[in-house]
Amino acid sequence: MKLLPQPVTAKLLATLLTSSLISYSVTALAAKSESIPFNTDQWQFLAKENKVAKHLGKSSLMLTDGVAVLKNIPFTDGIIEYKTALEPKPGFSGVFWRMQDADNFEAFYIRPHQSGKPDANQYTPAYNGIFAWQMYFGEGYSATTEYSFKEWTAVKVVVSGNNAEIYVNNMEKPALFVNLNREQQAGGLALWSFGTQYFADFHVTPMATPPLLKGKPTKPADMPAGTIPSWSVSNAFDSKLFADKIQLSPADKQDLTWKTLAAESPNGTANLAKIQGISKGKDTVFARTTIHADKAGVNKLEFGFSDKVQVYLNDQLWFAGNDLELSRDYRFLGSVGYFDAVYLPLKEGDNELWLAITEENIGGWAVQARFVNSTGISFR
């Protein structure tokens, strides 16, 4: 089962977000907590089904496969609180904040069917309609959390600058301390469900950089030597154009345009969705760099990607791989890591490394690469 369906992006949100949600000055905010009932016109809904109903003793919002967007309260920093009723079956219950438009926001959600497991919940940024849980996993992005069922689960998100503390039931100890990935910018708020979920007791307290209670921001470690620190990323095109293409020609390259994208510390992953989203017939980009070698020799390149890759050195195809979710076995999530390697014959001087990266599924569009032996090589 896919962990996050693509329809939560533009199709569900585009009609709900307006410029009033993002043209807001954070300095105008007062630290005033507001309780927002679900039976008021402060909410807009786009869902398979939504209604206000009594559930587990509370007036609540029943939301099926959709979003509830809060109108006219743009949010940068502060506290978001709500309760959600969980059941031990596949489904998702979450909140979006700092929404710039239908495709760009911060997100946290619960995976109730993963109770007690390392991926019981998830923080992820969304860029250009693409969630990135295949890139952002493990410590700082998800946490082992035990859930109770058939009762209300309290969630509190404290957002402060580039960080957030996320509490689930235990209000003394955060389940997650997050280094937020997107820029600090005022935007909208929304609740989200996949399957039928119930929400109650929604409160928002806009504040200017509230104090973090438990977590301490840390500077990411430096990338190891040999890691490619940035890429030139092309415009998107149809993967069919280069399927099984052994040799790149000048004609293959003539219509490409390029933007620079930095890799993220410490693992050197580049989130390709920061450049652009995907659409029909535009699901693939080239990520390229120039490697300068002081002398000729074979060097091992380790790399990770999502979802498919073709690796070219000096226009010659050397590797093709598929890391789609479930492609390795029924438990493989398509997570990005240094799982693959190829031995490349670098010539003395400049070498062109081009990776064609295809995004077919949800969960992240990414590339990372590092040379095992960094002696005598540099990147341009």
- Correct CATH for 230-379 of 2.60.120, 2.60.11, 3.30.43, 2.30.29: 2.60.120
Class of domain 6-206: mainly beta
Q: Check: CB of residue 111 under 8 Å from CB of residue 1.
A: no
Q: Which residues of 319-347 are buried (b: 16+ CB within 10 A; e: fewer)?
A: bebebbbeeeeeeebbbbbbebeeebebe
Can you tell me the distance from the alpha carbon of 144 to that of 142, in angstroms, rounded to the nearest whole number? 7
Asked, as a colleague might, if the bond just before 103 is cis with ω within 30 of 0, I would say no
Can you tell me the distance from the alpha carbon of 343 to that of 337, in angstroms, rounded to the nearest whole number? 18
Cα distances (Å, whole numbers) of residue 275 to 13, 109, 163, 222, 272: 20, 24, 23, 23, 6
**CATH 2.60.120.560 region(s) of the chain?**
6-206
Cα distances (Å, whole numbers) of residue 20 to 214, 265, 304: 33, 34, 40
pLDDT, tens digit (0-9, with 9 covering 90-100), for 310-352: 999 999 999 999 887 777 777 777 789 999 999 999 999 999 9
Local structure of 183: helix, strand or coil: coil
pTM, 2 dp: 0.89
Low-confidence ranges of the chain (pLDDT < 50): 1-30
Q: Which two tokens stand for residue 319?
A: 């590797």
Contacts of 41 (CB under 8 A, 6+ apart): 71
The residues pairing with 177 across neighbouring beta strands, listed in sequence order, are 165
Please report the pLDDT score of residue 187 as a whole number: 96
Can you tell me the distance from the alpha carbon of 31 to that of 331, in angstroms, rounded to the nearest whole number? 45
Please report the pLDDT score of residue 220 as a whole number: 74
